Structure 1
């Protein structure tokens, strides 16, 4: 093994892992913004284009996650525990999966008139992913405990709001919606959106665990 390769093997990989995590965070923000645009447009052709855009971004997120896992296999020294790197990558990927799931269900179930609750949840997802991305960005300086913790608190607050909107919307569906098919379709879309905010909270929990171990 060449001397340069030996040196690269033992140098902490903050120049590899953190940029990938930042890319994942930025990708989530873009996915959430596109979903928010999709639920607020009345143009069906435009919504189809936005749905395709979200699918493309989800594939990009998969590629980023795969690259993080490849780096874990290639590198001996990591900036923090390997298990935490894996957990963080997986939790970020889960957020992308459920944003994509919400978009996909809207398309497949032909939900042409997104409800007010869907619009509110989509807006909260933008807020949650922005806090996720900020916390992940701050992670490269592990001593920024206050900044990371503040973002985690905000993520949890957004998730609580999403829970309330989801539960209220489902209750109203059961009370007022007489068409069982529409009820099921709307509940499935709302569930995917609300679960996406849950997954943002999972990211927050992983970040807090990393802080406890490394700060």
Structure 2
């Protein structure tokens, strides 16, 4: 009995000492895991974006928006933990930059579907192509952050893959813009979709005779459609830019770790 009591005292003392140490030097959060959580969410959101571009399904668009809101919560959590952390496994500023860049990419994925809803723009082949490159970049980014803890040198290939995906998205963006302002391409698209150019615009031109009114409506419809789609293409391009920026930060972390 006495022996057991004697053994218990050092344990209590050790426990108090541990609590004191934890109060002075709080346990460091798992920033590797936190960034992996955030990039994994970006993978899910961009996968939903690709599915929306493939189908035009509003359910997919809502899921992109929901995941972006979830991403805002992750960002707030991660930044709060960073601010309260006594120490970090790698550069504190790089962690903050990575948290912000991943969230920025998610924001542009959400605003892409919001712009399409507001402007009543349907998905097209170029939007799908750019969304797929964005998803490729997000997937490579998660792979890279997932390797930081155990094998940071291997994450460099993933950082390069993120940047390559962005360059491909940028090329797709340029092709999309070139096609967008091609009247013949616009006419082919109308024919494929069996649609008439902006019937509502005719109401603005009622004083004109029918032939002149039709010609002006076709011209205005072409310009308006081009401007609306250009906004969507730019959102997708910006999303890829932010994903590539996160890839650059991953590269910086790898270099500093070496």
The verdict on a shared fold, with TM-score over 0.5 as the criterion, is yes
After superposition, residues 140-151 of structure 1 pair within 5 angstroms as 140-141=149-150, 143-145=151-153, 147-151=154-158
**Aligned partner of 1:25 among 4, 26, 39:** 39
Contact 1:152 1:208 in 2 (8 A): yes
Deviation at 1:6, TM superposition (A): 2.6
Distance 1:192 1:5, change over 3 A: farther
Deviation at 1:11, TM superposition (A): 6.3
**1:122 has 2:131 as partner:** yes
Deviation at 1:204, TM superposition (A): 1.0
Tell me how far apart the structure 2 counterparts of residues 22 and 155 of structure 1 sit (CA, whole Å): 15
- TM-score normalised by L of structure 1: 0.89
- TM-superposition CA deviations, 1:73-92 (whole Å, max 9, x none): 21111111111111110111
Which runs of 5 or more residues in structure 1 are unaligned? none
Q: Which residue of 2 aligns with 1:99?
A: 109
Q: Which residue of 1 aligns with 2:65?
A: 55
**1:168 has 2:148 as partner:** no
Distance 1:161 1:69, change over 3 A: same
Distance 1:107 1:81, change over 3 A: same
Q: Which residue of 2 aligns with 1:159?
A: 166
Tell me how far apart the structure 1 counterparts of residues 170 and 40 of structure 2 sit (CA, whole Å): 24
- TM-superposition CA deviations, 1:35-85 (whole Å, max 9, x none): 11111115xxxx222221111110111111111111112111111111111
Tell me how far apart the structure 1 counterparts of residues 173 and 147 of structure 2 sit (CA, whole Å): 30
List structure 1 segments (4+ residues) > 6 angstroms apart after TM superposition: none
Tell me how far apart the structure 2 counterparts of residues 165 and 205 of structure 1 sit (CA, whole Å): 21
**1:6 has 2:15 as partner:** no
Other structure's SS at 2:89 match: coil
Q: Which residue of 2 aligns with 1:133?
A: 142
Contact 2:152 2:257 in 1 (8 A): no
Tell me how many residue pairs correspond in the alignment. 207
Tell me how far apart the structure 2 counterparts of residues 153 and 31 of structure 1 sit (CA, whole Å): 21
Tell me how far apart the structure 1 counterparts of residues 228 and 37 of structure 2 sit (CA, whole Å): 32
Contact 1:9 1:76 in 2 (8 A): no
**1:110 has 2:117 as partner:** no
Tell me how far apart the structure 1 counterparts of residues 161 and 171 of structure 2 sit (CA, whole Å): 16
Deviation at 1:12, TM superposition (A): 6.2
**Aligned partner of 1:77 among 69, 76, 87:** 87
Tell me how far apart the structure 2 counterparts of residues 82 and 22 of structure 1 sit (CA, whole Å): 16
Tell me how far apart the structure 2 counterparts of residues 116 and 50 of structure 1 sit (CA, whole Å): 17
Tell me how far apart the structure 2 counterparts of residues 192 and 11 of structure 1 sit (CA, whole Å): 41
Deviation at 1:171, TM superposition (A): 1.2
Deviation at 1:213, TM superposition (A): 1.8
Q: Which residue of 1 aligns with 2:224?
A: 181
